[in-house]
Amino acid sequence: MKSLFILFTSFFIMLGHSVSAQDADSVRYVGTLEGAYLNSGNGTDRLGGNKMGFIEEGIVLQVLGEEESLYKVRLSENRYAYIPKEYAADTAVTDFAPVITSGSISVSNAGKYDVISIALEQKRCYLAKEESESGKMIIDLYGVQNNSNWITQYLDLESVESIDAIQVDSDILRLTIGLKNRTSWGYSVKYEEGRLVIKIKHNPQFTLKGMVIGVDAGHGGPDSPGARGRETRVNEKDLNLDMALRLKRLLEAKGAKVVLSRDKDTSLTMAERKAVFLANDIDMMISIHCNAGGTASGTSTYYKHIQNKKFAKTLLESILEIDGINLFGLVGNFNFSLNAPTEYPNALVETLFLSDPQDEARLNDPDFRELIMKKVAKGVKNYVKYCKKIEKRSAAHEF
């Protein structure tokens, strides 16, 4: 009886195989579009599902299925993810190899960055994660087998200590990058001419003098006023701009150079804001907003990537020195677009709640706006000091 069952089962499995073989021609592929990101699941909330990471445009992914606004896509033989349909376009692919092999790796110092480059004959999906406190950065390459038998490392590296390439699944190659520094000043991962190029920023001089700081005034223009004051109907966008201009003046007084995303009441998309900051090669970024909702009150700061937690926390601690304001919270893994860039440390400051009468009265007071921006500027300075201390301590442990 048992052997008959096995016979039947294997017959159906064989049947299943021959059907999928016939379907091979109709395998569907999508190419990623600018701003694309992968979600680990199909869950969602107000700002979208849990993001695994952003990926650049032009990466081909095999479609496994569709769920409303998402494609389920294959990362490797055993892994899949979800991508919003708006960031993926159908693409006709004839030469998609399920698995490719990696080529030579080189690591060099390019001035402001150390640059790691790995030869890959096709663009493959990757996910990167920095764990600066433990001194590591991990990049998983999907659909790639390790054939990197040359890892050329120059001796003048400033941010990269070591690099290792290990096959963690039959078709996932993991690059583990040992970092010299314990504080994070940003990185980028991007394909350039047949190579995946990873740039890891060097530590800056640990002083605000000469540092380039991006300040974003949230919302703006006729279509994005942001929240409204419950009592006075004041527009959030106007308060944000006023505070951003104050923060600019205060940071410049400490010697920093400040790049604003907007300096008047103009409309800007999130991509345009990010483009301004990248074009100016900023060292860090703060986005200024006012909160609203329910009966909540108080101040809060937000980050997406774990390496920015300390920055967001330091800003929050400084703001909380102001008498009488409530703590709303320190929020991590947050899906705000301007928290997504990895190229520079960044944090979102939700000053106070416009929907709370006491908070609204404070936000409407120019003296309070000056005071809270003084605390933000002090928080930036404290963070730079903290980084200096950490790097000094870790250097002392090297021999």
The sign of the dihedral angle between the CA atoms of 81, 85, 86, 91 is: positive
Estimate the share of the chain in helix, then strand, then coil, as percent rounded to the nearest 5: 30, 35, 35
Q: Judged by CB under 5 A, how many residues of this single chain contact Zn ion? A: 3
Rounded-to-integer distance, Cα 89 and Cα 377, Å: 43
Nearer Cβ to Zn ion (256/319): 319
**Contact present, 124 and 168 (Cβ < 8 Å):** no
Q: What angle do CA 321, 325, 326 make, to 5 degrees?
A: 110
Helix (H, G, I), strand (E, B) or coil at 27: coil
Q: Does 226 bind Zn ion (CB under 5 A)?
A: yes
Nearer Cβ to Zn ion (82/353): 353
Nearer Cβ to Zn ion (79/228): 228
Contact map string, positions 48 to 87, toward Zn ion, x by CB under 5 A: ----------------------------------------
Nearer Cβ to Zn ion (311/353): 353
Rounded-to-integer distance, Cα 24 and Cα 22, Å: 6
Binding to Zn ion, residues 199-218 (CB under 5 A) = 218
Nearer Cβ to Zn ion (153/224): 224
Binding to Zn ion, residues 282-321 (CB under 5 A) = 289
| Minimal distance, residue 226 CB to Zn ion, in Å | 4
Residue nearest to Zn ion (CB): 289
Nearer Cβ to Zn ion (274/289): 289
| Minimal distance, residue 291 CB to Zn ion, in Å | 7
Residue type, 174: R
Binding window for Zn ion (CB under 5 A); candidates: 29-37, 99-107, 224-232, 298-306: 224-232
Contact map string, positions 315 to 354, toward Zn ion, x by CB under 5 A: ----------------------------------------
| Minimal distance, residue 36 CB to Zn ion, in Å | 25
| Minimal distance, residue 289 CB to Zn ion, in Å | 4
| Minimal distance, residue 302 CB to Zn ion, in Å | 11
Q: Which two tokens stand for residue 106?
A: 């080189």
Q: Which long-range contacts (CB under 8 A, 24 or more apart) does 366-371 make?
A: 366/242, 369/239, 369/242, 369/243, 369/246, 370/246, 371/322
Helix (H, G, I), strand (E, B) or coil at 306: helix
Nearer Cβ to Zn ion (289/313): 289
DSSP per-residue codes, 102-156:
EEEEEEEE-SSEEEEEEEESS---EEEEEEGGGTEEEEEEETEE-----EEE-TT
| Minimal distance, residue 236 CB to Zn ion, in Å | 5
**Contact present, 179 and 250 (Cβ < 8 Å):** no
Q: Does 229 bind Zn ion (CB under 5 A)?
A: no
Q: What are phi and psi of 112, to 5 degrees?
A: -90, -10
Nearer Cβ to Zn ion (46/397): 46
Binding window for Zn ion (CB under 5 A); candidates: 41-49, 57-65, 225-233, 275-283: 225-233
Residue type, 175: L
Nearer Cβ to Zn ion (216/283): 216
| Minimal distance, residue 277 CB to Zn ion, in Å | 18
| Minimal distance, residue 124 CB to Zn ion, in Å | 37
Binding window for Zn ion (CB under 5 A); candidates: 186-194, 220-228, 264-272, 380-388: 220-228
Rounded-to-integer distance, Cα 375 and Cα 250, Å: 10
| Minimal distance, residue 219 CB to Zn ion, in Å | 6
Rounded-to-integer distance, Cα 74 and Cα 28, Å: 11
Indicate the pairing of strand 195-201 with strand 113-120: antiparallel
**Contact present, 127 and 174 (Cβ < 8 Å):** no
Nearer Cβ to Zn ion (194/293): 293
Binding to Zn ion, residues 89-148 (CB under 5 A) = none
Rounded-to-integer distance, Cα 243 and Cα 215, Å: 10
| Minimal distance, residue 216 CB to Zn ion, in Å | 10
Nearer Cβ to Zn ion (102/287): 287
| Minimal distance, residue 37 CB to Zn ion, in Å | 21
Residue numbers of the site for Zn ion (CB under 5 A)?
218, 226, 289
